[in-house]
């Protein structure tokens, strides 16, 4: 057995009360094994303890963490290992790949410097030897023109390339165990597919084991041999991947499988964890929208270019959005899909004039938003609002939730008094599933899903008619994602809202959208009714996007790997 975790408990010291140290128990007696040359997946919602469990292996935890139990790596207990001995293990025998490569890669060092460091530190290679090996590693992880890319800085690479660099750094010393913590969550479906296939191929080539952490059972089903399901710091179920998908025993595992939107079904609402555990049944299929509803927003030939200096007196044009046309009807949702770099987010921000357009028209009730003066545009802005991907960055950390919700109403003159605005804020919080006590708390006191609900409530304070949702649920785990998607549908039914829903997740887009617009290289390549387009796409690019969507376990033989 390569790694065996036995009765692991992790507590965090959170302060003192009456002189006594208070502790919050995050991991409560977790046990599982990782055999040689196998992939074990840790699955669960945010807060389930899966990342804390994984980071305990190399003690990559804050100083207030306290661990007990046993973590046996090739028979050696890592909990009893000195820091100096543990540093020799980190990167050499056990390596990590994290979710956000930009927070893991040093922005002031070149790619070469970051791959060479573990080679020189752990293997004692000279700088010249390390540089040769670094180029080989970039080639192995599939980065084109590796010799030139060695001189690049992280910000000069795409998200998928950054993650490949992180994998190259992790594999530099041929570790026996790779810990991959949500390595594909922030990537679009095609890049996610490439990274998953790369990890599986490298695992087999180097005969290493992998601990793969994810909240997405669709991804897990395609890469894991054995699955450990966690909730509230405890293991709820562990079994070979085939059993988890075809004969799950625990109600929580069944609920996780039921939460994810499907490419084949079209329910009126998504099941959430509590629904399934309580035994509630899924509702019927979604009702069709009125195809003759009035058009509230229309784009005609929308273009956006960025200009870069290419010489002393010349500029180079990059066309990010190339003549986009669409119509959005009242009470409808237009889904916008495409890979990273396809122009979908730039298109959404240009609609809102957060990027000034290069050309075209955006008609809102017949008026061109792009030609409005400052004063007219200011009045119109309250009718078109945006919800961004990252709720951690979009809420002011110094404002209470009350201040966050009341401020836009004060700016736009909504409500006769502060008390009336506060009452509106309180009512909207209840509408998005939070109680009145949230008003006087700060953003850091809420989970990611709760923050996204607050961001939606902030938009609703202005009584908008159109919401642009830019990857608004992609950072959320499947159960919270289901809650937010259900909320968006409820709000649309109640207030007649129209959505432009930008996402790389085609299953989510199918659930919430009436029409889908597919973008590639800044241009629209296909546009049709959501059900029709996803059932029978005409363009190869759309078919490739659909083919990259994780389907879960499809019958691989994993019995030998987990024996």
* 474 located within any domain: yes
Mean per-residue pLDDT, 323-338: 94
∠ CA(481), CA(485), CA(489), 5° rounding? 170
Least confident of 99-103, 213-217, 299-303: 99-103
* 460 located within any domain: yes
CATH number, domain of 524, equals 3.40.50.300
Taking the C-alpha atoms of residue 162 and residue 340, their distance in angstroms, rounded to an integer, is 13
Predicted confidence at residue 269, as pLDDT, reads: 83
Q: Which residue has the higher pLDDT, 338 or 47?
A: 338
Least confident of 147-151, 493-497, 534-538, 547-551: 547-551
- For residue 559, what pLDDT band results from cuts at 50, 70 and 90? very low
Which residues sit opposite 16 in a β-bridge?
21
pLDDT above 90 for 554: no
On the CB side of 149, CA atoms within 13 Å amount to 22
Predicted confidence at residue 284, as pLDDT, reads: 65
Mean per-residue pLDDT, 476-501: 88
Q: Output the CA torsion sign for 116, 118, 120, 125.
A: negative
Token pair 């100096």: residue: 84
CA 258 to chain centre: 19
* 231 located within any domain: no
Written as six digits, the tokens of 31 are: 């046990």
Domain that holds residue 364: 295-547
- For residue 556, what pLDDT band results from cuts at 50, 70 and 90? low
Express each pLDDT in 19-29 by its tens digit: 888 899 999 99
* 344 located within any domain: yes
Predicted confidence at residue 291, as pLDDT, reads: 84
Whole-prediction pTM value?
A: 0.81
Express each pLDDT in 410-423 by its tens digit: 988 898 899 999 99
Which residues sit opposite 43 in a β-bridge?
214, 229
- Alpha helices, DSSP H only, in 207-277? 217-223, 241-246, 251-259, 273-277
- For residue 562, what pLDDT band results from cuts at 50, 70 and 90? very low
* 512 located within any domain: yes
Predicted confidence at residue 563, as pLDDT, reads: 34
Percent of the chain with pLDDT over 90: 45
* 478 located within any domain: yes
Mean per-residue pLDDT, 30-56: 92
* 533 located within any domain: yes
What's the structural domain count of the chain? 1
Predicted confidence at residue 298, as pLDDT, reads: 94
Torsion angle in degrees (nearest 10) through CA of 435, 439, 442, 446:
10
pLDDT above 50 for 457: yes
* 31 located within any domain: no
């Amino acid at each position: 057995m390569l790694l065996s975790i036995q009765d692991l408990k992790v507590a965090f010291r959170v302060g003192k009360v009456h002189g006594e140290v208070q502790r919050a128990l995050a991991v409560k007696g977790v046990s599982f094994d990782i055999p040689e040359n196998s992939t074990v997946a840790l699955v669960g919602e945010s807060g389930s303890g899966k990342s804390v469990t994984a980071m305990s292996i190399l003690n990559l935890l804050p100083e207030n963490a306290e661990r007990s139990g046993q973590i046996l790596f090739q028979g050696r207990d890592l909990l009893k290992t000195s820091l100096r001995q543990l540093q020799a293990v980190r990167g050499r025998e056990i390596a990590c790949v994290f979710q956000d490569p930009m927070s893991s890669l040093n922005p002031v060092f070149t790619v070469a410097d970051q791959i060479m460091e573990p080679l020189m530190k752990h293997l004692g290679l000279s700088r010249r030897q390390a540089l040769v090996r670094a180029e080989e590693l970039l080639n192995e992880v599939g980065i084109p023109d590796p010799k030139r890319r060695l001189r690049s800085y992280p910000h000069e690479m795409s998200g998928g390339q950054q993650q490949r660099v992180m994998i190259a750094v992790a594999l530099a010393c041929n570790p026996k165990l790779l810990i991959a913590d949500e390595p594909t969550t922030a990537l679009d479906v095609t890049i996610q597919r490439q990274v998953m296939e790369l990890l599986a191929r490298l695992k087999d080539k180097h005969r290493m084991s992998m601990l793969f952490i994810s909240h997405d059972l669709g991804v897990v089903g395609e890469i894991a041999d054995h699955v450990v399901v966690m909730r509230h710091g405890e293991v709820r179920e562990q079994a070979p991947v085939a059993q988890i998908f075809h004969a799950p025993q625990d109600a929580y595992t069944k609920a996780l499988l039921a939460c994810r939107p499907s490419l084949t079904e079209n329910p009126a609402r998504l099941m959430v964890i509590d629904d399934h555990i309580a035994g509630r049944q899924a509702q019927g299929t979604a009702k069709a929208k009125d195809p003759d509803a009035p058009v509230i927003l229309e784009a005609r030939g929308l273009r956006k270019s960025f200009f870069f200096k290419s010489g002393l007196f010349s500029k180079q044009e990059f066309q990010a959005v190339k003549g986009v046309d669409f119509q959005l009807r009242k009470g409808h949702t237009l889904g916008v899909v495409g890979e990273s770099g396809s122009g979908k987010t730039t298109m959404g921000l240009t609609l809102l004039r957060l990027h000034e357009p290069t050309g075209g028209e955006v008609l809102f009730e017949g008026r061109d938003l792009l030609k409005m003066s400052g004063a007219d545009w200011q009045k119109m802005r309250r009718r078109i609002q945006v919800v961004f991907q990252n709720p951690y960055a979009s809420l002011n950390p110094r404002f209470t939730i009350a201040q966050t919700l009341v401020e836009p109403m004060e700016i736009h003159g909504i409500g006769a008094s502060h008390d009336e605005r506060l009452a509106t804020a309180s009512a909207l919080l209840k509408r998005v599933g939070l109680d009145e006590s949230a008003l006087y708390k700060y953003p850091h006191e809420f989970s990611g899903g709760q923050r996204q609900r607050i961001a939606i409530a902030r938009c609703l304070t202005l009584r908008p008619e159109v919401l642009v949702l830019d990857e608004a649920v992609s950072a959320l785990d499947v159960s919270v994602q289901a809650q937010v998607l259900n909320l968006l549908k409820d709000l649309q039914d109640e207030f007649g809202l129209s959505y432009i829903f930008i996402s790389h997740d085609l299953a989510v887009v199918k659930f919430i959208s009436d029409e889908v617009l597919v973008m590639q290289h800044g241009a629209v390549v296909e546009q049709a009714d959501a059900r029709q387009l996803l059932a029978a796409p005409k363009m190869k690019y759309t078919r490739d996007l659909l083919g990259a969507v994780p389907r879960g376990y499809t019958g691989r033989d994993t019995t030998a790997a987990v024996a």
